[in-house]
Amino acid sequence: MSRIEFKDVRHAYPQPAGQPVQYALKEVNQVWENGGAYALLGPSGCGKTTLLNVISGLLTPSEGEIQFNHRDVTRLPTTERHIAQVFQFPVVYDTMTVFDNLAFPLRNRRMPEARVRERVDEIAEMLDLSDRLHQRASGLTADGKQKISLGRGLVREDVNAILFDEPLTVIDPHLKWQLRSKLKELHQKIGVTMIYVTHDQIEALTFADRVVVMHDGSVVQVGTPVELFNRPRHTFVGYFIGSPGMNVLPCGLENGKPVFANNLLSSGYPADADLSGKLEIGIRPEFVSFCDDGIPVAIEKVEDLGRYQVVTVSHENEQIKMLIGEDEAIPSESPMIRFDPDNLHLYHNDWIVETADA
Amino acid sequence: MRKSSNNKAWWLVVPVLILVAFNAFIPLMTVVNYSLQETFGNNVFFWEGVTWFEQVLRSERFHDALLRQLLFTGMILAIEVPLGISVALSMPRKGPWVSVCLVLMALPLLIPWNVVGAMWNIFALPDIGLLGYSLNSMGFDYNFTQQPVSAWMTTVVMDVWHWTSLIVLLCYAGLCSIPDAYYQAARIDGASAWAVFRYIQLPKMKRVLTIAILLRFMDSFMIYTEPFVLTGGGPGNTTTFLSIDLVKIALGQFDLGPAAAMSLIYFLVVLLICWAFYTIMMRNEEQ
């Protein structure tokens, strides 16, 4: 087990000559504390898998340094890093039985056979594979094969970290919940660092203590699910987390106060800050409500989702989504809305601006 | 649901049946006809029963040819299969060299059999051939027209040169179909290079390799043109393989009865070995 640290890590995949270098990872500085349960969240193609492969040593980063417990491992081969990794699509050794598949990582490291048996039985029990241990792995369904892949990741006890690369993609929804809670349970039991890659926010928020949000090759925010929800540091986080995502609206600035639709909003921002460039406010649909005196809007669409309703309104060309309770009435004539000032954030070139009193 | 039974579609198969009848079944039956009778020409036949079969099966000449044939096929498989696999493993998977390698590998396969025989004949001639002359000037006593060992070596090397590429290309295709994730998983699992070969590459190559071995077996078991052009079956009878012997009996001596019996036995041997090999290789696939 160990603490994993990224120092100025960048990576670019080989490219045809003559084209500008495109970084799949753009300067990542990040510490993964020993024993943490992390979720790595981001859309497809944002560099999540690249980051995992850099940790496990399947890729050597173009620049920067990886440290395990303050020891540089950047050039260390995969086998010596003692990282377990589970891939998105099942990988099984077809000619072996389920048992031999699970035992493979242990036997490769010359563990005594009695101990191998013990470990494999334990893991098979956990993954519900006990009755199929002596079948050939090639005969299993996709679910079963992915369970074997998971099992091979979990079977070693001496690993520094376990990495999951969207491991439950091919698995049935009901089994997904079950397996995810088993992983969570296992994490609490053995306390090894786990990093779970996903593009599904529910999956990330239920699995992890800390969520690392990636966007376009960089880590944009690290925090608990609550922090990500309440205080997105980057407009992307606001938009990506929550359903529907945060409203991001262009705004002006007057005396350190953001202005939207001739309304002064929120409290003061440091007057000396250089805020030339793109300025936006971010407000979550949960904190927009109807009122008697506010921003005039037109109602475009109402979606009833059972326990609440999503209302899309517009002011001039800006669309704003709001979330209101099932029983709340929607005004029919000249509706007005207000933003809750405590939950309003100002973004400068997509990054949050700290308030003066914060 | 009512099923209407209309079997008219079977008529569509008729052209194929006619084709197969004319190019396989009828010639085979002619051979069967010859194998059971004696003829002295003029379309006069005398019933002989299984006499020819008994004669062939007891003949020392047939035993020797069969033995030589088995030895030859065994030797070339023992060389070509491991060599083909290792060449395929060491070929690049991507980059500009892939096409260069593939073209180089495919070249020998494009050369006609008799040209290969003639090429090697000239190449190996002890007095003027590059190979023969060099070997002799290095102090080896090499003369494939007179020494059985030299003749065998030359024949085997010629076949390896001509046909290893086939195994290479088939194995390479098998290797290229393995997704990267398998190699990554193997690195995570700490697998050695041998384990990667044994548990990933070999199983994934199994089907193509089975086909490759079958093709090489059949082809080498029926080899005729190359050794005929190279050595003519000599020196003596030392490189007279089954089909060379068959042609000698059928067209040289014009013993049509024994030749027909021999070709049927020959055919059954090939069929039997192929069937046994394929069954064993595919036995585990079903599960």
Count of other CB atoms within 10 angstroms of residue A256: 18
Query: The tokens of A347 are what?
Result: 């973004």
> Has residue A23 been placed in a domain?
yes
Decide if pLDDT at A297 tops 90. Answer: no
Asked whether the beta carbons of A241 and A229 are under 8 A apart, the reply is: yes
Q: Is A85 in Cβ contact with B199 (below 8 Å)?
A: no
- Can you tell me whether residue A210 is helix, strand or coil? strand
> Has residue A358 been placed in a domain?
no
Same domain for A308 and A217: no
Residue type at position A98: V
| Per-residue confidence (pLDDT) for residue A269, from 0 to 100 | 63
Q: How far apart are CA B117 and CA B229, in angstroms?
A: 5
DSSP state of A307: S
Same domain for A216 and A105: yes
Q: Which residue, A201, A235, A269, sits at the end of a domain?
A: A235
Q: How far apart are CA A87 and CA A71, in angstroms?
A: 26
Average pLDDT value for chain B: 88
CATH of the domain at A313: 2.40.50.140
> Has residue A357 been placed in a domain?
no
Query: Which domains occur in chain B, in start order?
Result: 60-255 (1.10.3720.10)
Q: Which residue, A191, A206, A235, sits at the end of a domain?
A: A235
- Contacts within 8 Å (CB) and 24+ apart, A184-192: A184/A37, A186/A126, A186/A154, A187/A37, A190/A157, A191/A1, A191/A35, A192/A1, A192/A35, A192/A159, A192/A160, A192/A161, A192/A162
> Has residue A15 been placed in a domain?
yes
Question: To 5 degrees, how large is the angle CA A288–CA A292–CA A298?
Answer: 65
Between B184 and A1, the more confident residue is B184
Tens digit of each residue's pLDDT (9 = 90 or more) over A120-156: 998 888 888 888 888 888 888 888 888 899 899 888 8
| Per-residue confidence (pLDDT) for residue B77, from 0 to 100 | 95
Q: Which residue, A202, A235, A268, sits at the end of a domain?
A: A235
CA distance to A67, A168, A218, B203, per residue, from A197 (Å): 20, 10, 15, 30
Same domain for A339 and A222: no
Query: The tokens of B110 are what?
Result: 């494009």
Same domain for A310 and A261: yes
Q: Is B200 in Cβ contact with A87 (below 8 Å)?
A: no
Decide if pLDDT at A337 tops 70. Answer: yes
Query: The tokens of B235 are what?
Result: 């020196």
Q: Worst-scoring range by mean pLDDT, A166-170, A265-269, A316-320, B178-182?
A: A265-269
Nearest to B174 by CA among B214, B213, B203, B216: B203
Same domain for A273 and A211: no
Decide if pLDDT at A253 tops 80. Answer: no
Q: How far apart are CA A64 and CA A74, in angstroms?
A: 8
State how beta strands A37-41 and A193-198 pair. Answer: parallel
Taking residues B181-187, what's their average pLDDT? 90
Question: What are φ and ψ of residue A34, in 5° steps?
Answer: -60, 130
Q: Is A162 exposed, middle or buried (0-12, 13-18, 19+ CB in 10 A)?
A: buried
A149 contacts on B by Cβ (under 8 Å): 185
Taking residues A158-180, what's their average pLDDT? 85
Question: What are φ and ψ of residue B77, in 5° steps?
Answer: -65, -40
Same domain for A249 and A222: no
Cβ within 8 Å of A, B 146-175: none
Asked whether the beta carbons of A63 and A170 are under 8 A apart, the reply is: no
Query: The tokens of A72 are what?
Result: 């540089």
Strand order in the sheet with A71-72: A23-32, A4-12, A63-68, A71-72
Same domain for A284 and A314: yes
| Per-residue confidence (pLDDT) for residue A330, from 0 to 100 | 82
Same domain for A285 and A224: no
Q: How far apart are CA B32 and CA B47, in angstroms?
A: 12
> Has residue A58 been placed in a domain?
yes
Decide if pLDDT at A273 tops 80. Answer: no
- Please identify which residue in the block is written with the tokens 């599960």: B287
State how beta strands A210-215 and A37-41 pair. Answer: parallel
| Per-residue confidence (pLDDT) for residue A270, from 0 to 100 | 60
Q: Worst-scoring range by mean pLDDT, A8-22, B93-107, B188-202, B206-220?
A: A8-22
Name the residue facing B287 among A108, A109, A136 (closest C-beta).
A136
Tens digit of each residue's pLDDT (9 = 90 or more) over B39-91: 777 777 888 888 888 888 888 888 899 999 999 999 999 999 999 999 999 99
Q: How far apart are CA A283 and CA B155, in angstroms?
A: 83
Count of other CB atoms within 10 angstroms of residue A80: 10
Name the residue facing B189 among A53, A108, A138 (closest C-beta).
A108
Taking residues B24-46, what's their average pLDDT? 85
Same domain for A226 and A310: no
Same domain for A175 and A252: no
Q: Which of A266-275, A316-325, B141-150, B261-270 has the highest mean pLDDT?
A: B261-270
Owning domain of residue A327: 245-352
| Per-residue confidence (pLDDT) for residue B287, from 0 to 100 | 46
Is B54 in the A-facing interface, judged by CB distances under 8 Å?
Answer: no
Number of domains in chain A: 2
| Per-residue confidence (pLDDT) for residue A65, from 0 to 100 | 87
A152 contacts on B by Cβ (under 8 Å): 185, 189
Q: Is A87 in Cβ contact with B203 (below 8 Å)?
A: no
Same domain for A265 and A202: no
Count of other CB atoms within 10 angstroms of residue A54: 24
| Per-residue confidence (pLDDT) for residue A10, from 0 to 100 | 86
Is B286 in the A-facing interface, judged by CB distances under 8 Å?
Answer: no
- Contacts within 8 Å (CB) and 24+ apart, B67-76: B68/B238, B68/B239, B68/B240, B68/B241, B69/B221, B69/B241, B69/B242, B72/B152, B72/B155, B72/B156, B72/B220, B72/B223, B72/B241, B73/B217, B73/B220, B73/B221, B75/B156, B76/B156, B76/B159, B76/B160, B76/B163, B76/B216, B76/B220
DSSP state of B239: T
CATH of the domain at A126: 3.40.50.300
Same domain for A262 and A187: no
Q: Is B203 in Cβ contact with A93 (below 8 Å)?
A: yes
Q: What percent of chain B has pLDDT over 70?
A: 97
Q: Which residues make Cβ contacts (< 8 Å) with residue B14, sequence separation at least 6?
A: none
Q: Give A291 to chain B, closest Cα distance, Å.
A: 56
State how beta strands A295-296 and A288-291 pair. Answer: unpaired
Residue A219's DSSP bridge partners are A214
Q: How far apart are CA A258 and CA A265, in angstroms?
A: 6
Question: To 5 degrees, how large is the angle CA A77–CA B82–CA B115?
Answer: 130
Q: What percent of chain A has pLDDT over 90?
A: 3
CA A234, A235, A241, A244: dihedral to nearest 10 degrees? 160
Tens digit of each residue's pLDDT (9 = 90 or more) over A53-102: 888 888 888 888 888 888 888 888 888 888 899 988 888 898 888 999 99
Asked whether the beta carbons of A243 and A249 are under 8 A apart, the reply is: no
Tens digit of each residue's pLDDT (9 = 90 or more) over B200-249: 999 888 889 999 999 999 999 999 888 888 888 878 888 888 888 888 88
Decide if pLDDT at B107 tops 60. Answer: yes
Q: Which residue of B has its CA nearest to A159?
A: B188
